[in-house]
Amino acid sequence: MPTPLYDSLRALAGTHPLRLDMPGHHGGPLPGGFPWPSEIDFTENGHTGDLYGGEPDAIQAAERLWAERFGFDSCLFLTGGSTQGIHAGLALLAGEGGPAALDRGSHRSVYHALALLDLTPHFIPRPWLAGEGVTGPVLPETVGKALKAHPEIKTVCITSPTYYGVLSDIPAIAGVCRAHGAKLMVDGAHGAHLPFLGYTGYQAADVVVMSAHKTLPAPGQTALLLANGFGLDQLQRWGSVYGTSSPSYVLMSALDAARDYMEGEGTARYLETVRLTEALRGRWPALAPRDGLALDPARLTLFSPDGFALADALRARGIYPEMADAGHVVCILTCAGGPAEAERLERALADTGLTGPYPPIPPPPEPPQAVLTPRRALFAPRERVLLSQSAGRVCAGQIAPYPPGVPVIAPGERIEKKHLAYLREIGYNEVYCDVIRPREE
Ligand SMILES: Cc1ncc(COP(=O)(O)O)c(C=O)c1O
């Protein structure tokens, strides 16, 4: 199977070049026997390609294979995680200044991009699923309502799947965006495995960002920026604004190898994991798909009367879940595991006795009033106060406890008593928060 970038780096290493360039290890081993494939850890040298350059090269050949496999016009490798791709994608679609419709539940990288680009957010709310204690999918009609009320919005950004595995109907949302002349960007940081499992929803979006490192056998920081209707040159331009000028060839060739693995054995193993996840969902109290609730088939979100205690109990047994909140424990199951890992998890779950119905979680209140732009809120002088003493102040950061997993208060919004009451109710109280200094409001 073709791995053009990995093959070309290996071939060059095989010539035993005298390396008088970067990285400083010059292809030799790292001290202390530190395991690192130095021999393919090159820099741009005329043979290795240029991530942000224009000439066809092995990197572009490897990116093209990803673009074709996932059904996109172009693909850029990212060595700074989805965070880099979110910054680049929003700059590409929304540019500087102006409005954007945003999933309220966006990752903080979206909030940071918003502030740096000086965009004005119109937040898209998600329904609260009381039966599951999580937010539901972004609904196409909610996006349509926002775009109808604000026809000046030409960029929409949503997350799918969420941390808990909730998928939104991307083709339907993309259709709504198109009808209003808006472009859709999807933060698919948790969904890089889905196209290999036959999911085609992402192809309807204009721009999609995925973290290979979250759900595929790929190293930390590896991610992808995929686009329809935009050429690689445009992705390179914006990717280079937010990426290092010395991108790691080891990370890039690991992306090449991960795709190749997923063309065969990796997908077969992933499909086995999907079957195991389905069985686990059937045997343990867990988030499960139903009418109106589509889920990532490999994400296991367990219910617990005390999610933090369950996560601690699992960790005490050498099992490390991805995330816990008051009523859930989220496990990322991938092709790296199989029946043995599922059995080990089941034995531990039985041993802890901590799965079961989660405590009631009230839905988050309506967002507070925004009094500063996200940009002003990011750059204005701030101070730290106790959250319980912050009523009336303007929030400088995000207050986003899990659950609900969406910011109860976002940067630039005035903290109201009802939001503090909600945060108290869900047990998020004795913490500090950053607020804008009074004179700067
Ligand atoms: C929904 C979502 N988007 C984006 C990111 C950023 O991804 P990365 O860590 O690859 O930069 C994360 C990270 O956890 C995330 O959960």
Question: Where do the structural domains in the chain lie, given as residue ranges?
Answer: 4-262, 268-352, 374-440
Band of the pLDDT at 54, cuts 50, 70, 90? confident
The pLDDT of residue 420: 95
DSSP 370: B
**Is the Cβ atom of 232 under 6 angstroms away from ligand 1?**
no
Residue 75 Cα to ligand 1 midpoint, Å, equals 18
The pLDDT of residue 20: 87
**Is the Cβ atom of 215 under 6 angstroms away from ligand 1?**
no
Residue 214 Cα to ligand 1 midpoint, Å, equals 8
**Is the Cβ atom of 240 under 6 angstroms away from ligand 1?**
no
The pLDDT of residue 102: 97
**Mean of the pLDDT values across residues 233-252?**
98
Q: Note the pLDDT tens digit of each residue in 383-396.
A: 999 999 999 999 99
Residue 84 Cα to ligand 1 midpoint, Å, equals 10
Average pLDDT, the chain: 96
Tell me, rounded to whole angstroms, the distance of Cα 87 from its chain centroid.
12
**Is the Cβ atom of 223 under 6 angstroms away from ligand 1?**
yes
**Mean of the pLDDT values across residues 33-48?**
95
* The CATH number of the domain covering residues in 268-352: 3.90.1150.10
Q: Note the pLDDT tens digit of each residue in 166-200.
A: 999 999 999 999 999 999 999 999 999 999 999 99
Give Cβ neighbours of residue 15 (< 8 Å, ≥ 6 apart): none
* The CATH number of the domain covering residues in 374-440: 3.90.100.10
Please state, for a pLDDT cut of 70, what percent of the chain lies above it: 100
**Is the Cβ atom of 57 under 6 angstroms away from ligand 1?**
no
The closest-lying atom of ligand 1 relative to the alpha carbon of residue 83 is 11
Band of the pLDDT at 114, cuts 50, 70, 90? very high
**Is the Cβ atom of 187 under 6 angstroms away from ligand 1?**
yes
Q: Note the pLDDT tens digit of each residue in 127-139.
A: 999 999 999 999 9
Nearest CA to ligand 1 atom 9: 81
CA angle at 299 for the pair 294 and 301, rounded to the nearest 5°: 90
**Is the Cβ atom of 87 under 6 angstroms away from ligand 1?**
no
Full-model pTM: 0.97
**Mean of the pLDDT values across residues 44-60?**
95
Can you tell me the distance from the alpha carbon of 101 to that of 157, in angstroms, rounded to the nearest whole number? 6
Across 117-121, 122-126, 429-433, least confident range: 429-433
Buried b (16+ CB within 10 A) or exposed e, 348-367: bbeebebbeebeebebbeeb
Residue 214 has pLDDT above 80, yes or no: yes
Structurally, at CATH architecture level, domain 4-262 sits in: 3-Layer(aba) Sandwich (3.40)
**Mean of the pLDDT values across residues 54-71?**
96
What DSSP assignment string belongs to 163-232?
Answer: TT-EEP-HHHHHHHHHHTT-EEEEE-TT-TTGGGGT--GGGGSSEEEEEHHHHSS--TT-EEEEESSS-H
**Mean of the pLDDT values across residues 340-352?**
96
State the virtual CA torsion across 402, 187, 241, 22 in degrees, nearest 10: 80
Residue to substitute in 82, 134, 398 for testing ligand 1 pocket (most ligand atoms within 8 angstroms of CB): 82
Nearest CA to ligand 1 atom 7: 82
Residue 47 Cα to ligand 1 midpoint, Å, equals 32
**Is the Cβ atom of 106 under 6 angstroms away from ligand 1?**
no
Across 203-207, 292-296, 422-426, least confident range: 422-426
Backbone angles phi, psi at 303, to 5 degrees: -95, 145
DSSP 3-state assignment of 424? helix
Residue 313 has pLDDT above 80, yes or no: yes
The pLDDT of residue 430: 78
